[in-house]
Amino acid sequence: MTTQQLRSLVLETPAASPTDIHRHYMNKLALETDVADVHYDRQHGLDAFVLIDVRSAKAYEQCHIPGAINLPSSQIGEEMTANLAKDRTIVVYCWGPACNGATKGAARLSALGFQVKEMLGGIEYWRREGNDVAGTLGQSANLVG
């Protein structure tokens, strides 16, 4: 019987240098934020960013983060963003981890010259963490679109 030597699938590609790893994660943090950080800032009156819900107007009407404005990702363009200040960072969110609406919104906004971060987890994780919501259906609204 022959014995087969196993190789590590994890280490098949060597890990990057600590410097490269640090750069990667700092770049990632420059592009993303999470529900807890957004909640903390809003809870403490830190309003240095604009929070935008990029879901449909109907979804926003039913349930959204208090203080967020609605700008569906498919409608983002120069005319729809004329009122937004380019010197304030924008944080976008959509339904949740399985939704790429916030990614699309961030791409469109950045193409127009805005600094943007995507809120990981979207409205789904905002609600899962027990944070307040506004809207006609509030907590009884669908968690996904």
Domain 33-136 homologous superfamily, CATH: Rhodanese-like domain (3.40.250.10)
CB contact set of 131 (below 8 Å; sequence gap of 6+): 35, 39, 65
CB 63 within 8 A of CB 135: yes
Q: What is the DSSP letter of 57?
A: H
How confident is the model over 49-106, as pLDDT tens digits? 999 999 999 999 999 999 999 999 999 999 999 999 999 999 999 999 999 999 999 9
C-alpha 58/C-alpha 144 separation (Å) is 13
Q: What global pTM score does this model have?
A: 0.91
C-alpha 34/C-alpha 70 separation (Å) is 19
Residue 78 C-beta-side C-alpha neighbours within 13 Å = 0
Map out the domains of the chain as residue ranges. Answer: 33-136
Please list the residues that pair with 53 across neighbouring strands. 70, 93
How confident is the model over 107-120, as pLDDT tens digits? 999 999 999 999 99
